Structure 1
Amino acid sequence: MSEREIQAAIDEIADALHTGASLDDLTGRLVAYSAQHGRADDARVRALLNREVPEDIREWESRHGTGTAVEPLIVRANRDLKMEARICVPLIHRGVRTGLLYVIDPLVEEHPDRVAATVDIIRVQVDLLAAVLYEMASPHLDERHQREVEFFAACQGEPAALASVAAWAGLRSTLSLRLAVSIFTTGSDVTEVSETQAAQVRLASQQTVSRYPSVIAGAVQDTHSVVLLRPDNEANAALHLHQRLASASGAGRPGDNRRERLYTGVAENLRSADELPEAYRRAVIAAQTAAVEPESGTIASWETIGPYRLIATRMRTDGTVSDLLESLIGADTTGDLVGTLEVFYDKGDNVQAVADTLHLHRTSLYYRINKIRDILGVDPLNGATRLELHLALKARRWNRRPRI
């Protein structure tokens, strides 16, 4: 599609809405505007004269979320900038943000329902412009999309995809690669992520993965991403990628009160495309472990998740794993005893470390252990009983993992 046809689409939008409309790319460059249709405020005139959005106007628009928006939103009026209220419509094609359409509407602040009505009227033109800007952005986008699809299919074990990825990714046995899976969740289950959040995470992940130099191949789904990392680019590539993804997706950090979280699992020593399905399975398990096990932090590797390797691959955890643990849970009305026992096991009987973690006096800690002993009728710190209870506590955590 030519620039003349883009202009025609913008003019159709302006005609249909009887107001001014303009199209910006993601760098702030003005792509097209409705020169002969509707109104244009002083802020938009400045952009027209410069052929790009002035910095103060971009900053105001960004305050309203235009930098990461995946759904239409309202940009409020600003008298100082001589800027009327407007509707911002993100243009998205194949999960990639390609530009921003702005429609001036002085009434939208008082009547926010006008947003949905406006988008319904111009939906055809919006979809068309999104696809056009996608095609104009880079001749390699289609190839990148196809490779993403093939890579994820290879992680699922499809033979044709495995062969194709091996060819274009240049995988050879002399390399030792890392596969990282990052899961975004707002609770114990990724199904709690709303459609809007999923779209925002996908877009943030797409932009991060596509620009990260250590990535050989990547695939971004609505609630998780999977990437194949070079072995020789940087020692902490998985950690750095996790940090970038967390920042771009707006995930909370340990200690804050945000529910959104990003967890990453890593599988290492991958040497051929045939190992992709197993590496993907292991990286998913490691990411799920990070989501339920505080001891692991927000990023975990398959090699370091200990009992969860056994629990995830060898145990059925959908029923009662341990009668002993069930009896303790039944008698523990506050949950303090169960929590104390797990921390005690995790800290290797280091009484001071347990007391510090739980903010308890050592005397209170000994009291709880004795109370657990009385409830169970056996010593929870003794051999086989300890092993059973510790494994059952981890299996209980595993049942809370986010499913993907």
Structure 2
Amino acid sequence: MSEREIQAAIDEIAEALGTGASLDDLTGRLVAYSAQFGRADDARVRALLNREVPEDIREWEERHGTRTAVEPLIIQANPDLKMEARICIPLIHRGVRTGLLYVIDPLAPEDPDRVTTTVNAITGHVELLATVLYEMASPHLDERHQRELEFFAACQGNAGALETVANWPPVRSAASLRLAVSIFATGEDIAEFSETRAAQLRLASQQTVSRYPSVIAGSVQDTHSVVLLRPDNEANAALRLHQRLAAASGVGQPGDTAPERLYTGVAENISSTSELPEAYRRAVIAAQTAAVEPESGTIATWETIGPYRLIATRLRTDGSISDLLDTLVDADPNGDLVNTLEVFYDQGDNVKAVADTLHLHRTSLYYRINKIRDILGVDPLGGATRLELHLALKARRWTRRPRI
């Protein structure tokens, strides 16, 4: 489709809706505007004259969520910018945001149903424009999509995909490789995400992974992203990528209110793509550990997750593994004693650190330990009992991990 045909599509949208419409790409460049139909506010005229969205207008639009939007939203009017209210419709093709369609509608803020009515009236044009911008954006997008599929298949052990990935020049030339898996989780269940929020997180991950210089290969799935890094290209590459993913998605930042958090797991370095499936499994376990174990922080490496290496690979955790822990849990409906015991174990009997962590006086801490001893009928700090309970507590956490 030529630019003339894109312009014709925008004019048809404007005619169908009876108002001005415009199309921006993701860089802020004005692609097309319905110059022959409907009035334009001063804000859009400025964009038309400059062929790009002015910074103050883009900032106002982004305050309403246009940077990560995957569903239509309303942009409120801004008298200071001489800007009327409008509806923003993200254009998405094959999971990739390709542009933003704006329709001027001063009545939209008072009648949110107008968003649905507007979108329904121009659905065919929206799908067409999304496809066209996708094809115009880069002739390599289809190739990139295929490479993502092949890479993820290799991580899952597909022999043909492993052979293909092994022959990619960046992989062949790397002295060593490191695999990282990042999971967005909210609460204890990744399934709590709305479809809209899940799509936003996926798009943010795609844009970050595709642009990060240390990434040799990457694939973004519905529940997680997996990347192959060249560790000798940048110190702490996995940590820095984790930070960029968190920033791009709006989670884990100072003062943010998002219920989600990003957790990343990193496998040890590998020297051959034949090791990818095992590295992927280990990186997933490390990421899940970070999601359930506060001691790990938000990024964990396979080498440092301790008992979870055993729990995830050797133990069945779909049922009870300790009668002692079951007894304590049953006698502790508020969970205070269970939490106290786990913190005590984690802090290596450092009474001051435990008291500070739990905000307890030492006397209260000793009282709780004695109460646990009375409930169990054995000393929870003694040898084999301690080992059993500590491992059981971690296995209990593991049952809450976000599933992939």
TM-score band, normalised by shorter chain: over 0.9
The structural deviation recorded for 1:31 is 0.6
Deviates more, 1:228-237 or 1:38-47: 38-47
User: Within 5 A, what are the aligned runs for 1:1-400?
Assistant: 1-172=1-172, 175-252=175-252, 258-400=258-400
The structural deviation recorded for 1:318 is 0.9
Deviates more, 1:282-291 or 1:11-20: 11-20
Structure 1 vs Structure 2 CA RMSD: 1.5
CA distance in 1, matches of 2:7, 2:174: 53
CA distance in 2, matches of 1:234, 1:349: 38
One-letter amino acid of the counterpart of residue 376, structure 1: L
TM-score (norm 2): 0.97
The structural deviation recorded for 1:257 is 5.9
The structural deviation recorded for 1:80 is 2.1
SS of alignment partner, residue 276 of structure 1? helix
Residues 253 and 67 (structure 1), Cα distance of their counterparts in 2 relative to 1, 3 Å cut: closer
CA distance in 1, matches of 2:325, 2:258: 31
C-alpha contact 2:247 2:253 (8 A) present in aligned 1: no
C-alpha contact 1:264 1:287 (8 A) present in aligned 2: yes
CA distance in 2, matches of 1:112, 1:169: 51
SS of alignment partner, residue 233 of structure 2? coil
SS of alignment partner, residue 102 of structure 2? strand
CA distance in 2, matches of 1:21, 1:174: 49
Report the count of equivalent residues.
404
TM-score (norm 1): 0.97
C-alpha contact 1:172 1:271 (8 A) present in aligned 2: no
One-letter amino acid of the counterpart of residue 293, structure 1: E
One-letter amino acid of the counterpart of residue 336, structure 1: D
CA distance in 1, matches of 2:258, 2:115: 28
Deviates more, 1:73-82 or 1:314-323: 73-82
Q: State the Cα deviation string for residues 373-402 of structure 1 (Å, max 9, x = none).
A: 111111111111111101000000000111
CA distance in 2, matches of 1:318, 1:253: 34
Q: State the Cα deviation string for residues 247-299 of structure 1 (Å, max 9, x = none).
A: 11111359976421110000022221221111111111100000000000000
The structural deviation recorded for 1:173 is 9.4
Gapped regions of structure 1 (runs ≥ 5): none
Q: Percent identity?
A: 83
Q: State the Cα deviation string for residues 142-183 of structure 1 (Å, max 9, x = none).
A: 111111111111111111111111112543497221111000
One-letter amino acid of the counterpart of residue 118, structure 1: T
CA distance in 2, matches of 1:150, 1:330: 48
Residues 189 and 274 (structure 1), Cα distance of their counterparts in 2 relative to 1, 3 Å cut: same
The structural deviation recorded for 1:119 is 0.7
Deviates more, 1:290-299 or 1:168-177: 168-177
Gapped regions of structure 2 (runs ≥ 5): none
Q: State the Cα deviation string for residues 188-213 of structure 1 (Å, max 9, x = none).
A: 11111111111111111111111111
C-alpha contact 2:250 2:256 (8 A) present in aligned 1: no
One-letter amino acid of the counterpart of residue 137, structure 1: A
C-alpha contact 1:173 1:271 (8 A) present in aligned 2: no
CA distance in 2, matches of 1:131, 1:313: 44
